[in-house]
Amino acid sequence: MAGRVMVRDGLFTDGDAPALLGSRCPACEAHHFPRHDTCPYCAADGPLPTLLSSTGSLWAWTAVTAAPPGYRGPVPYGMGVVELPEGIRVITHLTVSDPGAQALGQAMELRVVPLHTDTDGNEVVTYSFAPVDAP
């Protein structure tokens, strides 16, 4: 039966209050996304799983105007970098595809959005960020 599937498991949680699945290094305190089992910054083993903040601020953004290889969703689509309070910047899909409608530092919140429908009829969803209070 067709349903809703994540573009990849282990990246985020779905539902009313979604979150990105990150990790934190107990040695250097750095946060990671996606989860790592070795810290990419200090090479220490044993980062601890954590849920990252679902709100942040916009640090960089653009829009992709032609579908790149392997992408089957609508164009244009927004893509950018959101800075989270944990001191981490995340590359992300953005719900706003008009670069002129966004501003540096604006408050953003995590959403889970549809990308496309796969050959089995499943709705494929991914993590994205939208301006806070956007519909």
Partner 1 sequence: MKGAVIAGVGMHPFGRFEGVSTTDMGVHAVRAALREAGVAKGGFQAAFCGTAYGGVATGHKVLSRLGLTGMPIVDVEAGCASGGAALMLAAGAIRAGQYDTVLVFGVEKMPRGIIRSSFFEPWQEEAGLAATPSFFALRAQRLTVTSGVTKEHLARVVVKNRRHGASNADAMYQKEISAEEVLASRVVCEPLHLFMLCSPNEGAAAVVLTREGRRAEVTPAPVTLAGAVLRSHLPGSVLSESTPLSGLTDDDVPSPTTLAATAAFEEADLGPGDLDVVECQDTDAARELMSYEEIGLCDPGGSAEFLDSGATSLGGRLPVNPSGGLLSKGEPLGASALGQVVELVRQLRGECGPRQVEGARVALSHTVGRGANAGVVILTR
Task: Return residues touching partner 1 (CB under 8 A).
Answer: 7-8, 30, 32-34, 40-41, 60-66, 68-73, 77, 79-81, 83, 87-93, 99-100, 104, 115, 124, 126
Report the nearest approach of partner 1 to the CB of residue 8 (Å).
4
Quote the CA–CA distance of 17 and 101 in Å, as a whole number. Answer: 25
Closest to partner 1 by CB, 22 vs 109, is 22
Report the nearest approach of partner 1 to the CB of residue 12 (Å).
11
For the chain, the distance separating the N- and C-terminal CA atoms, rounded to the nearest angstrom, is 29
Closest to partner 1 by CB, 107 vs 133, is 107
Q: Of 33, 34, 8, which Cα lies nearest the Cα of 112?
A: 8
Closest to partner 1 by CB, 121 vs 133, is 121
The number of helix segments (H) and strand segments (E) in the chain equals 0, 10
Quote the CA–CA distance of 22 and 7 in Å, as a whole number. Answer: 17
Closest to partner 1 by CB, 64 vs 133, is 64
